[in-house]
Amino acid sequence: MQKLGVGIIGLGSAGLLHAESYNQIRDKARVVVLCDKDKGCAESNALIYEANAHTDYHNILQRKDIDIIDICLPHHLHAKAAIAAAEAGKHILVEKPIATTLKDADDMIKAAKKAGVKFMVAENHAFIPAHALAKKMVDQSQIGRVFLAKAYEIVGDVPIEQGWKTSPEALGSLLDMGVHRFFVLQWIMGDVKSVFAFAEKLTCELDTKNDDTAVIALQFKNGALGEVDVTSGAVSEPTNRLELYGTKGTIIEDHMCESPLMYSSHQSGFETEGWVKPVVEHAPFPGYYSISFKNEVEHFVDCVREDKEPLVNGDRAKAALKVALCAYQSVKTGKAQKVE
């Protein structure tokens, strides 16, 4: 089968991780164009990946050698680029979150369906092998019925200069970081029923109202409870952690460990003697980025080549966005919000 041509729009850290990921599956796809408003950035990276450089993505959408448009722009710019790509008949991979409004998310989903193209949101946490294993264990009831789920993303990444992350459209860490956790928890636990949240600017000293720290309580439709904590203001190594407490056992997943997942169980057929650490492909930060990004782009390329529905389709990504936006509404009202 012929290699798929890829055009990447936006060459921040995510865009460059995507470029390197495609470089690892060169038998299936190749980067044809790298596009960024910074001409020097586009040209220097184009030399690395033997691609063309552009500064305006509108100029590349009609190229016949491009099958996939990979969008790594600031969150609030996703919709415009994705809709244009769909109208040009290109398959679309867009960085998380899908968008910053439900209307934009709906418009993107509709445009892709109308054009008959594949559409996926690059939620790399779905492609961390330890997360996939945790989901499989829950699906098989290896720790009984999960009644409490906790997820944390604690990093030191406060903006130090004005940029798109300090603009009002970006909203803040609750969306930027929280959407990872909302997606993973709903993927494993099922839909969220209601949410109560606090979100504040506690560490960023720049002129912005965007939150850098948030604590969110969740109630799932199956009756389980959950908690999500995020901050970009930590003075420490990054912490990405998932805790699942079941009636017959517990699963702990920590990205920073060489063996990231451990569990104990009293469930019949899955009993353990103390904690067990199954073997799973992983590398502590930043190694799991390379693994998960490569897995996600290869999954999307395979979906295009084999005409399959992507794991993180528009509807699943929109569901995670909806939780985040309801959390922001809770922050404003001081009340729990139903996720409808």
pLDDT of residue 222: 98
- Whether the per-residue pLDDT at 302 is higher than 90: the answer is yes
Same domain, 172 and 274: yes
Same domain, 118 and 178: no
Same domain, 136 and 263: yes
129 in Cβ contact with 293 (< 8 Å): no
Residue-range definition of the domain harbouring residue 207: 126-283+320-338
Distance separating the N- and C-terminal Cα atoms of the chain: 43
Same domain, 167 and 220: yes
Same domain, 102 and 149: no
Average of per-residue pLDDT across 289-313: 98
pLDDT of residue 2: 83
Same domain, 158 and 218: yes
We report the CATH number of the domain holding residue 223 as: 3.30.360.10
- Whether the per-residue pLDDT at 285 is higher than 90: the answer is no
Same domain, 253 and 224: yes
Percent of residues, the chain, with pLDDT higher than 90: 97
- Whether the per-residue pLDDT at 1 is higher than 80: the answer is no
From the list 40, 47, 38, the residue with the least C-alpha distance to 19 is: 47
Cα–Cα distance measured from residue 218 to residue 157, given in angstroms and rounded to the nearest whole number: 25
Same domain, 182 and 331: yes
156 in Cβ contact with 173 (< 8 Å): no
Beta strands, E only, 175-317: 192-200, 213-220, 225-231, 239-246, 249-254, 261-265
pLDDT, tens only, 135-180: 999 999 999 999 999 999 999 999 989 999 999 999 999 999 999 9
Same domain, 135 and 270: yes
We report the CATH number of the domain holding residue 27 as: 3.40.50.720
Same domain, 138 and 279: yes
Cα–Cα distance measured from residue 127 to residue 123, given in angstroms and rounded to the nearest whole number: 8
From the list 123, 133, 138, 140, the residue with the least C-alpha distance to 178 is: 123
Average of per-residue pLDDT across 122-144: 98
Same domain, 101 and 174: no
- Whether the per-residue pLDDT at 83 is higher than 80: the answer is yes
* Count of domains for the chain: 2
- Whether the per-residue pLDDT at 237 is higher than 90: the answer is no
From the list 13, 21, 86, the residue with the least C-alpha distance to 296 is: 21
Same domain, 76 and 163: no
- Whether the per-residue pLDDT at 102 is higher than 90: the answer is yes
Average pLDDT across the chain, whole number: 97
pLDDT, tens only, 46-82: 999 999 999 999 999 999 999 999 999 999 999 999 9
Phi, psi torsion values for 21, nearest 5 degrees: -65, -45
What's this model's pTM, rounded to 2 decimal places? 0.96
